[in-house]
Structure 1
Amino acid sequence: MTVLVTRPAGDSEKTVARLAERGIAAIAAPVMAIRPLPDIALAEIALPEKADPATCRALIVTSANAIRTLAGRPELAALAAVPLYAVGDHTAETARQAGFTDVRSAAGDVHDLARLLRAEIRPGEGRLVHLSGREVAGDLAGELAAAGYETERRIVYETVAADALPAAARDALEGAEITAVLLYSPRSAETFGALARNAGLGDYLARVAAVVISENVAEKARAFGFGHIFVAERPDESALIAALERFLKQSIR
């Protein structure tokens, strides 16, 4: 039984190695690439040279990619001491490794993140600055605005869909070697399904399980005819892998 991992290049390989430690064979099959916005595009949304708590009470990060794309930029050093609220533990750990010193994790989804912010910061104490990709899941800004918070979104990267599935992934699907596909976002689910169909492999998905990180991802995956869909109990990779292991055990029986 072999699993396809659809995370972007670099991340996919890390997950493949993580699965190998558990005795699960996997193939890296990135369907999205992370592209930092060029400096010229950052001119209008550049981070402040010095964070002023009166105007920037806290940073919000809903993807570790936002932290990674800022690595090496001079703005990062200026913001390192600003409280940073991360959607999950992986994103929080990425922020700590990048040098942020005051990091809190909501250990969940954007609703959990909004609840954490409401519990620790009062409306009117300053602006919440959301470092994000061009596309975001959920309406965090709307939820916070409804609770009286001032938010500002600063786009620091974008995701770009792959033109085709990697050859190894196509061959494994066609050879009926793939048991499951790990899907991490609604867009990656749509992109994977479309690439499989474009390669003439859409019918093969009926033999494959989609193991997804949230119900939002499951909704997109259902449109492509996967044989089974399993949703992680929490929106993080550890829960996703746990869901995969439960599915694989069930398949062996």
Structure 2
Amino acid sequence: MRALITRPEQETENLRRKLQARGIQADCAPLLAIDIYRDVALPLQDVTAVLFTSINGARAFCANSPRRDLAVYAVGEATATAARAEGFSVVEAAGGDVEKLAALVRQRHRPADGALLHAAGATLAGDLQAMLQADGYDVRRVTLYAAKPAVALPAAVATDFAAGRYGAALFFSPRTAAVFVTLAQQAGIGGGAAACTALALSANVAAMLAPLGWAEIRIAATPREDDMLALLDE
């Protein structure tokens, strides 16, 4: 089988290895380019924990601060792994979306335990700050990166998708799914979806994929990479 990964290039290496171990050839079509902002002054006074809602949030925070002594609440296990790789030692992972991250914070961190800093992107998937502020938390949101959509699919990927050469395509966010659909439609290659099963991290991702006539759209049991891979294993 050949599979298509739609994550940014810097996030695909480990996933590509896992696919290759399963005998699956993987191509990459980065649909978002990550622009990390530099030299941002972070309001860290009285902050005792940081909130990472993406791998890029963790990387962007670390590009702007040497602090690794803060507790980390991460949206999911992949983001938690990235935080540990950056040098954080106290890291907890939620179940993969901002609502579950807010619930984790409420369980583990009282408002009196200190302020929280959310290392956010320019585009938000849910207002985590508002969710927690409603419960009395001091949450400081700082925009540290932007994800810019691709203007076209890589030429080789577009050719192979149009020819029905992909058995599966993996989508990890509603935004990347929407960008792919738009670019495929603009290029006139949407018909290639008929030969391909779309694997979606969540129902929200699957909803963005619906305009194309996929062979099938399958949703991971939980929003984790391992559950995406489990769809392939089945």
TM over 0.5: yes
- State how far apart, in whole Å, the 2-side matches of 1:12 and 1:84 are: 23
The structural deviation recorded for 1:47 is 1.3
1:209 and 2:197 aligned: yes
- State how far apart, in whole Å, the 2-side matches of 1:35 and 1:72 are: 12
- State how far apart, in whole Å, the 1-side matches of 2:164 and 2:204 are: 27
Task: Give the secondary structure class of the aligned counterpart of 1:235.
Answer: coil
What is the identity, as a one-letter code, of the residue corresponding to 2:88? F
The structural deviation recorded for 1:167 is 1.8
Contact 2:202–2:219 under 8 Å retained in 1:
yes
- State how far apart, in whole Å, the 2-side matches of 1:146 and 1:223 are: 36
Contact 2:60–2:119 under 8 Å retained in 1:
no
What is the identity, as a one-letter code, of the residue corresponding to 1:150? D
- State how far apart, in whole Å, the 2-side matches of 1:112 and 1:72 are: 26
- State how far apart, in whole Å, the 1-side matches of 2:61 and 2:47 are: 18
What is the identity, as a one-letter code, of the residue corresponding to 2:76? G
2:10 maps to what in 1?
10
What is the identity, as a one-letter code, of the residue corresponding to 2:213? G
- Between the two proteins, the alignment pairs up a number of residues equal to 234
Show CA shifts across 1:73-110 (max 9, x none): 4x2x2x21011111112211211111112212224322
Aligned positions of 1:151-230 closer than 5 A: 151-230=139-218
Contact 2:167–2:197 under 8 Å retained in 1:
yes
Aligned positions of 1:233-252 closer than 5 A: 233-246=221-234
Which residue, out of 124, 132, 142, partners 1:136?
Answer: 124
2:85 maps to what in 1?
97
Show CA shifts across 1:116-160 (max 9, x none): 111111234432211011112123223212322221211111101
- State how far apart, in whole Å, the 2-side matches of 1:224 and 1:151 are: 39
Task: Give the secondary structure class of the aligned counterpart of 1:69.
Answer: helix
The structural deviation recorded for 1:38 is 4.4
Q: Which runs of 5+ in 2 are unaligned?
A: none
Which residue, out of 39, 42, 47, partners 1:47?
Answer: 42
Judged with a 3 Å threshold, the aligned counterparts in structure 2 of structure 1 residues 166 and 14 are, in CA distance, closer, same or farther, namely: farther
- State how far apart, in whole Å, the 1-side matches of 2:139 and 2:63 are: 25
Judged with a 3 Å threshold, the aligned counterparts in structure 2 of structure 1 residues 139 and 227 are, in CA distance, closer, same or farther, namely: farther
What is the identity, as a one-letter code, of the residue corresponding to 1:96? R
The structural deviation recorded for 1:21 is 0.9
Contact 1:182–1:212 under 8 Å retained in 2:
yes
2:52 maps to what in 1?
61
Judged with a 3 Å threshold, the aligned counterparts in structure 2 of structure 1 residues 36 and 235 are, in CA distance, closer, same or farther, namely: same
TM-score, normalising length: structure 1: 0.86
Aligned-residue CA RMSD in angstroms?
Answer: 1.7
Which residue, out of 136, 147, 150, partners 2:135?
Answer: 147
Task: Give the secondary structure class of the aligned counterpart of 2:123.
Answer: coil
2:19 maps to what in 1?
19
TM-score, normalising length: structure 2: 0.92
Which residue, out of 106, 119, 122, partners 2:110?
Answer: 122
Contact 1:186–1:217 under 8 Å retained in 2:
yes
